[in-house]
Structure 1
């Protein structure tokens, strides 16, 4: 599925996505494995791997949505 020009998540969708990312950060802090976090949050292991990398590089701010996508 392709997004329309300037597409992306709406603000309420971004908030819903962050509700999944923040518990993942807690799991990262406890040293849980990616597979355990993925199973608990019902997301793919690959998604957890990307979030862990972002969390490691930028901390909790790396998991927050950056705002609506903008058209170029």
Structure 2
């Protein structure tokens, strides 16, 4: 049906045309570490939601 009307099927681009890759890299390097925050320590805990950790 598309060919009959002179059209063809196109797959969308995965990135926006307006994307500024340099600005994205600066954001990831400078802003993201502050936003992400510190990781939690690897302390074994309880898998039960109803019973607190019995340490």
The two structures share one fold, judged by TM-score above 0.5:
no
- Higher radius of gyration, 1 or 2: 2
Compare the two structures and name the one with the higher helix fraction. Answer: 1
Q: State the structure with bigger RCO (CA 8 A, min sep 6), 1 or 2.
A: 1
* TM-score after normalising by structure 1: 0.23
